[in-house]
Chains A and B, each alone.
Chain A
């Protein structure tokens, strides 16, 4: 296609204006979180302060929420990697009774809105004594249907020769998984990790329902509660909370954005 420089400049200007409207909320968040507004100062001007971060990282308990989010994510990620590979491998390579109907079940789990499951899940967690613990946010999410689907499709596409050769050499099924299937599946596992991490880190509804106490809150729930509590209109405090909640992700985004975009694109089947 032809690119004349006049049109290119126009295109660039439009994109730059749009980009500014996309950057503005982040800049606003940062500026607001570092500025104390005193009466008598003209609008938009403020004094530099770290008070809001002191509040958020101190009394408001954000380090605890950060730890909770991280704890839940770590275990959910590890479980999803291990189980998606093993279950995906079983679906891809073994022939067993009810294989097809069971795999249809995996697909159907992806279609049902999670809100339909939330009341019985709360009921179950109360009965198991896991309500209001981090385990309630971990156990139901250790084997995700979409991840199984992803791994099964990927492993099916791998040549089975290497596995057969390893099997002929007497390797156990676990050893074949560890030394043949997993190394070959690295790209799919990366996609799985990225998708699961974003979804789990941002998860809101279930952590909101399955926990009550502040000490077991994850970041998104804690921030939503913070935005409704006594600091509901303390914009500096709220923006410091928002920035503490989002800066780790923004940093990770800049480091891994190529992988994240690849992950989103190939994981487009799931929202």
Chain B
């Protein structure tokens, strides 16, 4: 993956190299490395950006506090529920849509566009529309009324708010992963199916023994990428519920946001952000491992 430069550049070009690299080096140092380290230091301190004079060292206090903080634990549990509740559904639905769009003989292009569109629109727009549809007199309750089902206060009821956000999230992002699955399906060699047909394999057998193994890496890739994205769920919570009712939709990033920018406990918030970093890094390393595995097998998507 790295270091296959074909031509070794002349060494006297060193100031050229520095000139070319400098924008990145500067951005990297100022807007990435420094914030990352400063955040780590802050997690061992008490600090407020807007009152920098009240800075004090706190040792491991912030990290100990996490363990006994019911709100943080709730936000962790909520995020876990969100990830476990959405990621498999989104992935399965994306695969189903991709298979259907791939096999339908008429209108596959337009179906693909319709399913894909929500994923490139700002999630805030989506949340705004759903906020209206979820309202007590909104479209969802009117739809349920057709079947004689009682309406619900979707975003106000403690047990319904999180599922409502999850449903919206699934609606919004499935099309993106469908596009990835479509690319993977296109890359499966046609000869495999032809050979299987000669051998008398039925369609289920073809799916089970050819399609699934052939798109295996894409499935793992989608699961990991989707998990990483879902751990960071925030704008939809901010737009729809602000973490309520009674903390039932308070996710980790939302809790981090509130701790830092509403309660101005930026040291403690930094400790939360490092817990998030640990979780995301673990999944990112898994992602790299998966991608390198794909590289070894030479199974390219294109």
Interface, chain A (partner B; CB < 8 A): 1, 3, 8, 11-12, 14-15, 18-19, 21-26, 28-29, 32, 43-44, 79, 83, 86-87, 89-90, 92-96, 99-100, 102-107, 109-113, 115-124, 126, 139-140, 142-143, 148, 156, 160, 164, 173, 198, 201-202, 204-205, 208-209, 219-221, 223-224, 227-228, 233, 235, 238-239, 241-242, 245-246, 249-250, 253-254, 257, 260-261, 264-266, 268-269, 271
Chain B nearest CB from A53 CB (Å) reads 15
**Cβ of A111: which chain B residues have Cβ within 8 Å of it?**
280-281, 284-285, 288
Chain A nearest CB from B235 CB (Å) reads 4
**Cβ of B117: which chain A residues have Cβ within 8 Å of it?**
22, 26, 250, 253
> Do the beta carbons of B122 and A120 come within 8 Å of each other?
no
**Chain B residues touching A, majority SS:** helix
> Do the beta carbons of B5 and A253 come within 8 Å of each other?
no
B229 and chain A: residue at smallest CB distance: A271
**Cβ of A24: which chain B residues have Cβ within 8 Å of it?**
139
Q: What are the 4 tightest A-B residue pairs by CB atom distance, in nearest-first order? A: A120-B35, A111-B284, A94-B9, A90-B20
Chain B nearest CB from A126 CB (Å) reads 6
Contact indicator per residue, chain B 240-278, by CB within 8 Å of chain A (1) or not (0): 001000000000010011001100001001100110110
Chain B nearest CB from A66 CB (Å) reads 13
Segment among B23-31, B65-73, B84-92 that sits at the interface with chain A: B23-31
Contact indicator per residue, chain B 98-125, by CB within 8 Å of chain A (1) or not (0): 0011011111001111111110111111
**Cβ of A235: which chain B residues have Cβ within 8 Å of it?**
132, 135, 138
> Do the beta carbons of B13 and A94 come within 8 Å of each other?
yes
Bound together, the chains give a CA A16 to CA B181 distance in angstroms of 20
> Do the beta carbons of B234 and A15 come within 8 Å of each other?
no
Besides A121-B35, A202-B124, A238-B128, 4 new A-B residue pairs in contact (Cβ under 8 A), listed by A number: A25-B130, A112-B281, A148-B24, A241-B128
A172 and chain B: residue at smallest CB distance: B16
> Among B110, B131, B179, B261, which residue has its beta carbon within 8 angstroms of that of A209?
B261
Bound together, the chains give a CA A219 to CA B122 distance in angstroms of 9
> Do the beta carbons of A220 and B120 come within 8 Å of each other?
no
> Do the beta carbons of B122 and A245 come within 8 Å of each other?
yes
A257 and chain B: residue at smallest CB distance: B113
Given A235-B135, A253-B120, A19 contacting B114 (CB threshold 8 A) = yes
**Cβ of B100: which chain A residues have Cβ within 8 Å of it?**
11, 14-15
B113 and chain A: residue at smallest CB distance: A257
Given A115-B232, A209-B261, A95 contacting B9 (CB threshold 8 A) = yes
Given A118-B260, A118-B273, A143 contacting B36 (CB threshold 8 A) = no
**Cβ of B221: which chain A residues have Cβ within 8 Å of it?**
268
Bound together, the chains give a CA A228 to CA B30 distance in angstroms of 34
> Do the beta carbons of B116 and A227 come within 8 Å of each other?
no
Contact indicator per residue, chain B 286-302, by CB within 8 Å of chain A (1) or not (0): 00100100000000011
Chain B nearest CB from A124 CB (Å) reads 7
**Chain A residues touching B, majority SS:** helix
Bound together, the chains give a CA A250 to CA B116 distance in angstroms of 11
Bound together, the chains give a CA A102 to CA B175 distance in angstroms of 35
**Cβ of A96: which chain B residues have Cβ within 8 Å of it?**
9, 14, 17
> Do the beta carbons of B121 and A250 come within 8 Å of each other?
yes
> Do the beta carbons of B24 and A265 come within 8 Å of each other?
no
Pick 16 A–B contacts, CB within 8 A, sort by A.
A83-B24, A86-B20, A95-B8, A95-B9, A106-B24, A117-B31, A119-B270, A160-B7, A202-B122, A202-B124, A227-B239, A238-B131, A260-B120, A264-B179, A265-B301, A268-B225
Q: Taking the complex as formed, is B76 at the interface, i.e. its CB lies under 8 A from any CB of chain A?
A: no
Q: Taking the complex as formed, is B77 at the interface, i.e. its CB lies under 8 A from any CB of chain A?
A: no
B197 and chain A: residue at smallest CB distance: A1
B274 and chain A: residue at smallest CB distance: A116
A177 and chain B: residue at smallest CB distance: B20
> Among A119, A126, A140, A173, which residue has its beta carbon within 8 angstroms of that of B260?
A119
Task: Specify which of A94, A100, A109, A140 lies most central, judged by the most chain B CB atoms within 10 Å of its CB.
Answer: A94
**Cβ of B158: which chain A residues have Cβ within 8 Å of it?**
none
Q: Taking the complex as formed, is B63 at the interface, i.e. its CB lies under 8 A from any CB of chain A?
A: no
**Cβ of A139: which chain B residues have Cβ within 8 Å of it?**
31
Q: Taking the complex as formed, is B34 at the interface, i.e. its CB lies under 8 A from any CB of chain A?
A: yes
> Do the beta carbons of A142 and B276 come within 8 Å of each other?
no
Q: Taking the complex as formed, is B150 at the interface, i.e. its CB lies under 8 A from any CB of chain A?
A: no
> Do the beta carbons of A242 and B115 come within 8 Å of each other?
no
**Cβ of B131: which chain A residues have Cβ within 8 Å of it?**
227, 238
> Do the beta carbons of B121 and A249 come within 8 Å of each other?
yes
**Cβ of B291: which chain A residues have Cβ within 8 Å of it?**
269
B8 and chain A: residue at smallest CB distance: A95
B26 and chain A: residue at smallest CB distance: A143
**Cβ of A239: which chain B residues have Cβ within 8 Å of it?**
128-129, 132
Bound together, the chains give a CA A173 to CA B17 distance in angstroms of 10
> Do the beta carbons of B9 and A93 come within 8 Å of each other?
yes
Given A112-B277, A120-B35, A238 contacting B132 (CB threshold 8 A) = yes
> Do the beta carbons of B36 and A116 come within 8 Å of each other?
yes
Given A12-B104, A15-B100, A95-B9, A25 contacting B133 (CB threshold 8 A) = yes
> Do the beta carbons of A89 and B20 come within 8 Å of each other?
yes
